[in-house]
A = this chain, B = another copy of it.
Amino acid sequence: MNDHWYMQRALDLAAAMEGQTSPNPMVGAVVVKDGRIVGTGAHMGAGGDHAEVHALKMAEGCTDGATMYVTLEPCNHHGRTPPCAKQIIEAGIARVVVAVKDVNPEVAGSGIEALRNAGVETEVGVLAEKAAKLNATFFHYVQTGKPFVTVKTASSLNGKMATPKGLSPWITGEAALEDVHQLRHIHDAILVGVGTVIDDDPALTTRLEIGGRNPIRVVLDRYLRTPSDAQLVTDGKAPTWIFTEESPKSKNASVLEQKGVRVNSLPTVTPKKVLAELGRADIQSVLVEGGKTIISAFIAENEVQRYISYVAPKLFSADTAMELEVEYAQMVGGDIKITATAKKGDASCLQG
């Protein structure tokens, strides 16, 4: 056990909350006294206590002279509650180990400074890379004012994003579908083009075994063609926001708004402008699910932070589908090489 070991515990606590803290970052904290953990905490979402506070509460009576491990610089601004830095100092914590400084330029360093000024030994940078990666979404958002964009696609090996006519529309298997629902759970918003809405009428909700958060559904729809009976208009399972170039006073707009949809009019509907609007609404992360035109627009504007491609070992033509088996998926230099072979009968006939 050493600083790294305890910080890893704090990171585990933070990571368990992935998907539920937005617009706040994931933060975990551990209080250690005389070689024993006496308090643990994580921030569990907006309106709830900060990780440090949870950990201090749990450690009540044992905080004097203790060490606190926290994955992000403690806050030092007065809000609903006193700043964490102040509470740490008052609890008599002797040493604070921080993974990464806050990235908000107005705040960064102020919590650490407050601790040091109060004579608390404060160390920064333990497991910094892991902590930064854990909150890549939050940091991107704070630094750019726009949500972190993940594009997700599913395709056959030969690059087709739709199955042949007459076949089930699911390209990938169940495990990949569940993986996508996990992705939805950890995003604040899910974004598609109106073409996808018209063609597939998707619900865009999170369907996991145990439930999960539904992201806000965002539709880019320049000419306001979203059908008023679309699932995401009528099902009431999550907010739906439409970005359009049409007037907010148009008839279509008022029909949709009556059904609870929020219609946002912009002079031009482009990825950059939509992301700026979403950022203003405290949306930190967007999952772009299609279609092709929308994805191309995000790429062309360089507005992609992460790209997740599910590739099914299938070959689609207009009306046929071949199922292959993945033999290897390996790195060759910086590229990925996927080798798939046609399924065969077994080799038993070859043995004498």
Q: Give the B-binding residues of A (Cβ under 8 A).
A: 1-3, 5-6, 9, 12-13, 16-17, 20, 30, 32, 34-42, 44-45, 54, 57-58, 67, 73, 98, 100-101, 103, 109, 112, 124-125, 128-129, 131-133, 136, 139, 151, 153, 155, 157-159, 161, 172-176, 179, 182, 185, 206, 208-213, 295-296, 299-300, 302, 304-313, 315-320, 322, 324-326, 329-342, 347, 350-352
Contact yes or no, A210 B6, CB < 8 A? yes
Contact yes or no, B176 A341, CB < 8 A? no
Instruction: Specify the chain B residue showing the minimal Cβ separation from A48.
Output: B38
For the A-B complex with A6-B210, A100-B351, A176-B333 known, give 14 more contacts whose Cβ atoms are closer than 8 Å: A1-B185, A35-B185, A37-B44, A39-B44, A40-B41, A54-B58, A128-B347, A128-B351, A153-B158, A153-B159, A158-B295, A158-B307, A159-B159, A299-B317
Contact yes or no, B208 A307, CB < 8 A? no
How distant is A108 from chain B, measured CB to nearest CB, in Å? 9
Question: How far does the alpha carbon of A326 sit from the alpha carbon of B309 in the complex, in Å?
Answer: 11
Contact yes or no, B35 A212, CB < 8 A? yes
How distant is A28 from chain B, measured CB to nearest CB, in Å? 10
Contact yes or no, B347 A322, CB < 8 A? no
Name the contact of A40 in the complex, choosing from B42, B112, B173, B333 (C-beta under 8 A). Answer: B42
Name the contact of A307 in the complex, choosing from B34, B172, B318, B324 (C-beta under 8 A). Answer: B324
How distant is A297 from chain B, measured CB to nearest CB, in Å? 8
Instruction: Specify the chain B residue showing the minimal Cβ separation from A311.
Output: B336
Contact yes or no, A1 B347, CB < 8 A? no
One complex includes copies of this chain to the number of 4
Contact yes or no, A338 B336, CB < 8 A? yes
Contact yes or no, B37 A40, CB < 8 A? no
- In this complex, the member of A157, A317, A335, A337 whose beta carbon has the largest number of chain B beta carbons within 10 angstroms is A335
- In this complex, the member of A45, A57, A312, A329 whose beta carbon has the largest number of chain B beta carbons within 10 angstroms is A329
Contact yes or no, A101 B352, CB < 8 A? yes
Contact yes or no, B16 A37, CB < 8 A? yes
Write 5 A-B pairs (CB below 8 A) sorted by A numbering. A12-B16, A128-B350, A131-B350, A304-B322, A309-B311
Contact yes or no, A335 B37, CB < 8 A? no
The 10 closest A-B pairs by CB, nearest first: A175-B333, A124-B352, A125-B351, A300-B317, A2-B209, A159-B159, A173-B333, A35-B211, A35-B212, A100-B350
